[in-house]
Amino acid sequence: MKYVIGNDHGGIDLYESVKEKIESMGHVVIHVGTNGHESVDYPDYAKLACEKVLSKEADYAILICGTGIGMSMSANKIDGIRAACVSDTYSARMSRAHNNANCLCIGARVLGNELANMIVEEFVKTQFEGGRHQKRVDKINKLEIR
């Protein structure tokens, strides 16, 4: 699988370890985030990363900012993106198993590196269960206003 990681300056310190975690699980990482601590605007990076998912250059997006909140608000404005802002491993698993999230948002200023990587691992290894959840995800998708 291919994972695109987008981060702002608040997420840069977590980026490397998340990249290593995903690669250690046998997946490919594309980076579209900023590389430094200079202040940037997270919606720009949410857009860059989510466009890679929509174009199928990546299967999933991982977005990292200070809290994960700005990234998730931005990503969920984009049709076709189902972004989950997550701070625990159970929610990370359920975001894939039940919600078929295609975008994980995490906060570098909220989580330590170890918990962040556990969350990422859970997201990466969990498959969507389909079944009764498919119809609910279809209803989420129908909420998009065209």
Active site residues: 65, 98
Q: Is residue 66 within the footprint of ligand RB5 (CB under 6 A)?
A: yes
Q: Is residue 6 within the footprint of ligand RB5 (CB under 6 A)?
A: no
- Binding track, positions 10-29, relative to ligand RB5; x by CB under 6 A: x-------------------
Residue 67 DSSP symbol: S
- Please give the Cα distance from 28 to 101 (Å, whole number): 18
Q: Is residue 67 within the footprint of ligand RB5 (CB under 6 A)?
A: yes
Q: Which of 3, 42, 60, 123 binds ligand RB5 (CB under 6 A)?
A: 42
CB 5 within 8 A of CB 31: yes
- Please give the Cα distance from 94 to 115 (Å, whole number): 16
- To the nearest 10 degrees (0 to 180), the angle between helices 12-24 and 113-125 is 40
CB 52 within 8 A of CB 61: yes
Binding segment (CB under 6 A) for ligand RB5, from list 51-59, 60-68, 78-86, 111-119: 60-68
Of residues 109 and 136, the one with the C-beta less far from ligand RB5: 109
Of residues 40 and 137, the one with the C-beta less far from ligand RB5: 40
Q: Is residue 45 within the footprint of ligand RB5 (CB under 6 A)?
A: no
Which strands make up the sheet holding 83-85, listed edge to edge?
Answer: 28-31, 2-7, 60-65, 103-107, 83-85
Of residues 13 and 59, the one with the C-beta less far from ligand RB5: 13
Which residues make up the interface to ligand RB5 (CB under 6 A)?
8, 10, 42, 65-67, 69-70
